[in-house]
Amino acid sequence: MNIYIDESGSINKYATNDQYFVVSMIHVLDPVALERAYKRFISSNYEMLLDLDSDKVDDMTGKITKHGGRMFRDGKFRELKGAQFDRDMKHIFVDYFSRKHHFDVYYIMMKNENLPNRFFDNISRTFNFSIKSALLYFIQNGYLPDEDCFLQLDERNERVENKSFLENYLNTELSLSGQVAGNFSVSYFDSACNKFVQIADVFSNLFYSHLQTGHYTDELELMRELGILKGVYELT
Does the pTM exceed 0.75? Answer: yes
pLDDT 10s digits, 165-194: 999 999 999 999 999 999 999 999 999 999
Look at residue 17 in the predicted model and tell me its pLDDT. 78
Superfamily of domain 2-40+94-234, CATH level 4: Ribonuclease H-like superfamily/Ribonuclease H (3.30.420.10)
Look at residue 55 in the predicted model and tell me its pLDDT. 87
Per-residue 3-state assignment (H helix, E strand, C coil) for the chain: CEEEEEEEECCCCCCCCCCEEEEEEEEECCHHHHHHHHHHHHHHCHHHHHHHCCCEECCCCCCEEECCCCCEECCEECCCCHHHCCHHHHHHHHHHHHCCCCEEEEEEEEEHHHCCHHHHCCHHHHHHHHHHHHHHHHHHCCCCCCCCEEEEEECCCCCHHHCCHHHHHHHHHHHHCCCCCCCEEEEEECHHHCHHHHHHHHHHHHHHHHHHHCCCHHHHHHHHHCCCEEEEEECC
pLDDT 10s digits, 72-127: 999 899 999 999 999 999 999 999 999 999 999 999 999 999 999 999 999 999 99
